[in-house]
Amino acid sequence: MNNTASDLEQYLDELANNARPGDRLPPIRDLMRRFGVSQMLVQRAFQGLKTKGLIDSQVGRGTYFRGDGELVPANTGPRLQANRSVLLLRRSISITRGRVLVEGLQRRFTADGHRVLEVSYTDPAHARTVLKGSPRFDACVVQSTYKTITIDLLAALRDKCDVLAVDGATLAGTDVEAVGMEWGEPLAKAIALLRQQGHGRIAYAATSSPVLATQMGRRRFEYLQTTLADTELHEITVPHLPDDNYEAALANLIKASLDASGRLPFTALVAWGVEDGAKFRQLLSDAGVGIPSALSVVLLGRTDLANEHANFFDTIGCSVADQIESLYQAINVRWADPSLPYGVRLIPVTSKVGQSIAAPPPATRSTVSRVSTTDSPT
């Protein structure tokens, strides 16, 4: 006879009634295989045992049986501990998104009655030095902003923090919560939007640095190159990160693409990494490239940050508000049940309509064959 979710619940109830205090629950994956149920059903069964007061969870100890076999009223079941301590570890850098996110997390955790400490660091060695003199924390959010989080820094953080979350989809397969964005879906949406406006020659600009999130975007771009036979896709690789004069470098690459008559080889641009939208627009204007008269532009960025979209650019990406909420929830869920599997949380894609898109000039609207090019500094 096939096992069912009710068989699982009965099995766990029997284990709880016969368990000694501190006995560990069977691993979730073992229960999934044994009863042929999903992870969600196993977690729901665990929650039922918690509501009955038969099991408990602690960071570092996992989920275990209380062992008394007695039910407790639902309203006295396990609750999140108040007055926890949270460390917000942020790399010292003038990126608006980072500041807005840290301030948002500080407000959320402080409103819950938790103690929050914000610490800025310049490099991993500096961060390790700061951590040596710090107390232990119940949770830590790390914001490295495009720079490597070294193994020794991760080890130091795990020694100091019960729950560790990283701002950005940079880590997977570790006991760290990662919350971030992959840029493949926004890129595909941006190209589709421009094609709807009649653009058949589109450029995609992103950093040449192998950041995981942008690598996902580049993989999607390569796929679109092989499938959009009626669209000519150009790739612009910028040898900078957004905190390193990125807008000027990208504007210079676009300017270098102008031919003798002042025309670009593409009529539309999808650009990742622009932190200062007003500056980027002015740089292109100074180069004789008007937006959207000469070039339609869609930014891949944060739809709720005015410094990026400058109240002008059409923007597809994500919101900092969703990033804050996802990090906040990831930590609270981990506090509530330390036995849950770790993973990467991808925040939802959002869009903001601007004034940076127009139909291409009539002379450029003809259908063309796909050609892939890579522009580089001259």
**166 and 231 within one domain:** no
Strand, coil or helix: 346 = strand
**309 and 261 within one domain:** yes
Question: What CATH number should be reported for the domain holding residue 37?
Answer: 1.10.10.10
- Characterise 113 by phi-psi region: left (phi > 0), alpha (psi -120 to 50), beta (else): left
User: Which pLDDT belongs to residue 370?
Assistant: 33
**310 and 238 within one domain:** yes
* CA-based nearest residue to 211, from 236, 240, 174: 240
User: Which pLDDT belongs to residue 73?
Assistant: 38
Q: The tokens 């990126």 sit on which residue?
A: 95
**71 and 46 within one domain:** yes
Most confident region among 35-39, 62-66, 221-225, 374-378 by mean pLDDT: 221-225
Q: What is the domain count for the chain?
A: 3
Percent helix, strand and coil across the chain, each to the nearest 5:
40, 20, 40
* CA-based nearest residue to 345, from 220, 166, 102, 214: 166
Q: Is it true that the peptide bond before 361 is cis, omega within 30 degrees of 0?
A: no
Give me the domain span that covers residue 94: 85-181+321-348
**30 and 152 within one domain:** no
Q: Which residue has the higher pLDDT, 260 or 74?
A: 260
Distance CA 79, CA 125 (A): 37
**43 and 91 within one domain:** no
Of the CA atoms within 13 Å of residue 71, those in its CB half-sphere come to 8
pTM given for the model: 0.74
**200 and 306 within one domain:** yes
**259 and 226 within one domain:** yes
Q: Are the C-beta atoms of residues 142 and 149 closer than 8 Å to each other?
A: yes
Summarize pLDDT for 330-353 with one digit per residue, the tens: 999 989 888 888 888 899 999 999
Bridge partners (DSSP) of residue 312 are: none
Summarize pLDDT for 243-297 with one digit per residue, the tens: 889 999 999 999 999 999 989 999 999 999 999 999 999 999 999 999 999 999 9
1 token code pair: 């006879």
**195 and 301 within one domain:** yes
* CA-based nearest residue to 268, from 223, 236, 302, 312: 236
Domain end point (choices 49, 76, 103)? 76
**203 and 313 within one domain:** yes
**121 and 264 within one domain:** no
CA distance readout (Å), 124 to 134, 161, 182, 233: 15, 16, 25, 39
Summarize pLDDT for 80-95 with one digit per residue, the tens: 455 899 999 988 776 7
**314 and 327 within one domain:** no
186 token code pair: 């926004």
Summarize pLDDT for 32-66 with one digit per residue, the tens: 888 888 777 787 788 778 777 777 766 555 677 77
Any idea of the CA torsion for 251, 257, 261, 266, to the nearest 10 degrees?
-90
295 token code pair: 């070039």
Stretch 314-325: mean pLDDT: 95
258 token code pair: 């102008």
Question: What CATH number should be reported for the domain holding residue 170?
Answer: 3.40.50.2300
pLDDT band at residue 79 under the 50/70/90 scheme = very low
Domain end point (choices 76, 94, 126)? 76
For 362, residues 6+ apart whose C-beta sits below 8 A from its C-beta are none
Summarize pLDDT for 139-192 with one digit per residue, the tens: 999 988 777 788 898 888 888 898 999 888 777 667 889 898 889 999 999 999
* CA-based nearest residue to 63, from 17, 105, 97, 16: 16
Distance CA 354, CA 12 (A): 55
Domain end point (choices 48, 76, 104)? 76
